[in-house]
Amino acid sequence: MTIAPGDTLPDLTLTAPDGTPVRLADFTGHKLVLFFYPKDDTPGCTTENIDFSALADDFAKARTALLGISKDPPKKHQKFIAKHGLTAPLASDAETGGLSDALGFWTEKSMYGRSYLGMVRSTLLVGTDGKVALVWSPVKVKGHAAEVLKAAQAL
C-alpha cells in the first residue's frame, strides 16, 4: 500500500514504551503527526526525536498529537527516552505486518551491495477526520519538525 493524502489509516495497534497498547483510533477527532524513523539512538533518529520533543508544546497548542514510530521494542524506547529526555511519545511497531509494513515504510533497502529490510523515514499529518492530510517520504531531518508544525498549525 502506498499512503496518500485523503487515505484513512488502518486501525492497527502499536505498543507504548510501558507495554500498553496504542490504537490509532484513539486519536480520532484530533490532529495527529506520525513520524516513522529507522532506529533508536542513531544520529539522525536522535536528532529527529529531539526536534519533535522540543516542539511538543507548540504541537499541543496546535491541538496536534505526536507519535514517533519505529520497529524497536518498547524497552529500547524506554532507554532512548530516558537518555535524551524525549517528550514526544513513542510507539513500537515491531509486529510483522504492522503499520509501517502496511503503509510501505518498512521495505527492502540496499547499502554497499547488501539488501536488508529497513524503515523509510516518513511523516504523516492526519486531520481530525482521520484522513491523511500530508505525507513526507522520504524525510530529511534538518528543519523537518518545524515544517510539520507549520503544516499542523495551518490544518
Query: Any idea which residues carry the catalytic annotation?
Result: 45
CB 59 within 8 A of CB 66: yes
Structural contact between residues 10 and 3, judged by C-beta atoms closer than 8 angstroms:
no
Distances from the Cα of 138 to the Cαs of 16, 79, 104, 122, in angstroms? 24, 26, 12, 5
Cell reading at 10: 488502518
DSSP secondary structure code for residue 27 in this structure: G
Rounded CA separation 118/4 (Å) = 20
- What would the grid cell of residue 133 be? 492530510
